[in-house]
Chain A
Amino acid sequence: MGLDALGIAGSGLTLHRKWLDAVADNIANANTATATTGAAFQARYIVAQEGEGVSGAYVSGTALGDAEGLLVHEPDNPIADADGYVRRPDIDMAEQMGELIMAQRGYQANAAVIDRAKTSYEAALQIGRN
């Protein structure tokens, strides 16, 4: 299909949107404590894959972080076990903030590509006018 820069940049936008979603979920659950009998909240990471030929980038799946989490001593927590421990997710907030910025910048870069491509196509239509 013609005008393919639009489609390729669109696939990049979708990928970075999903990355943003994953980071948002991780940050939202960064403080979600669970009982020690179950698994901790697992951070979600998307797996990116290049498209066939020149067709952009796609999400081929997601990977989950550590289910073990961190055992934290919180005797006042209603879901704490007999020894006073709960599981907290092993999510590094600084790392997630870094990923958030990367996802945002990547999204913006792909949006810029679409803008430039459209401007270029419109410039091509001006060739030979007057």
Chain B
Amino acid sequence: MTIPAIGSAPAVSATSYLPASTGSTAADSSDSGFATALTGAVDNLQQLQSTSNSYAIQAVTGDLDDIHTATIAASRAQVTLELVAAVRNKGVEAFNDIMRMQA
């Protein structure tokens, strides 16, 4: 009995699940979008906190008509701080994950 020789393997074609790579399109050369967004968010947060502070001073000096404007401003600043901190933590976490990668 004769054993046929092993032919060459057929060429690998892209599946529908994983489209063929068409070269790198990532790594935009422009400024990091994340850094810009985070800086903007921090600026916004600072604005809210200074508003909250000035309302708190008005409340203490008796210049405030509505108590709730001060407490609402404080709540707004607090929730925004938590949001910005959460986004920053996620960013740092992602950076650390990448730095821990090994070939």
Instruction: Say yes or no for B86: interface residue by CB 8 A criterion.
Output: yes
Q: Which residues of A contact B78 (CB under 8 A)?
A: 118
Is the Cβ of A14 less than 8 Å from the Cβ of B82? no
CB contacts between A and B, total, < 8 Å: 35
Check if A6 is an interface residue, CB within 8 A of chain B. yes
Taking CB atoms and an 8 Å cut-off, the chain A residues in 6-26 that contact chain B are 6-7, 9-10, 13-14, 17
Prevailing SS type, chain A contact patch? helix
Size class of B's contact patch?
10 to 19
Please encode chain B, from 63 to 75, with 1 for each CB lying within 8 Å of some chain A CB and 0 for all others.
Answer: 0011011001001
| Chain A residues with a Cβ closer than 8 Å to the other chain, count | 14
Binding site for B on A (CB under 8 A): 3, 6-7, 9-10, 13-14, 17, 111, 114, 118, 121-122, 125
Identify the B interface with A (CB < 8 A). Answer: 65-66, 68-69, 72, 75-76, 78-80, 82-83, 86
